[in-house]
Amino acid sequence: MAAYTRKAAAPTVTPESVMADVRAGNIKPVYLLMGTENYYIDRLEAELVDALVPEGLRDWAMITLFGAETDVETVVTTARGFPMGGDRLVVVLKEAQNLQEFARLETYLKQPQPTTVLLITYRGGVADGRTKAVQLIKKQGVVYESAKVYENKLPAFITSYLKAKNLTIEPAAANLMAEHIGADLSRMAGELDKLAIALPEGQNKVSAELVAGHIGVSKEFNIFELTDALGMKNAKKAFQIAKYFDSNPKANPIQKTLPALFRYFQNLFLAYYAPDRSERGLAAYLGMRDWQVRNNILPAMQRYKARKVMSILTAIRRTDARSKGIDNPYTRDGELLRELLFYILN
- For the cut 70, the answer to whether the pLDDT of residue 1 exceeds it is no
**Higher per-residue confidence, 130 vs 224:** 130
65, β-bridge pairs = 93
pLDDT at 261: 94
CATH fold group of domain 223-345 = Zinc Finger, Delta Prime; domain 3 (1.20.272)
pLDDT at 258: 93
Task: Spell out the domain ranges in the chain.
Answer: 23-146, 151-215, 223-345
Q: What are the φ and ψ backbone dihedral angles of 93, each rounded to 5 degrees? A: -105, 100
CATH fold group of domain 23-146 = Rossmann fold (3.40.50)
Judge if 23-146 and 223-345 fold alike in CATH terms: no
The mean per-residue pLDDT over the stretch 131-154 comes to 90
Averaged pLDDT score across all residues of the chain: 88
d(CA 182, CA 190): 13
Across the beta sheet with 89-94, the strand order is 62-66, 89-94, 116-123, 30-35, 142-146
Burial class (CB in 10 A: 0-12, 13-18, 19+), 276: exposed
CATH fold group of domain 151-215 = Helicase, Ruva Protein; domain 3 (1.10.8)
pLDDT in tens, 329-345: 788 899 999 999 999 99
Maximum C-alpha span of the chain: 76
pLDDT in tens, 68-84: 999 999 999 999 998 88
Coil vs helix vs strand at 222: coil
d(CA 291, CA 162): 20
- For the cut 90, the answer to whether the pLDDT of residue 314 exceeds it is yes
> Which pTM does this prediction carry?
0.63
| H helical segments located in 125-232 | 132-140, 154-163, 171-181, 185-198, 208-215, 223-231
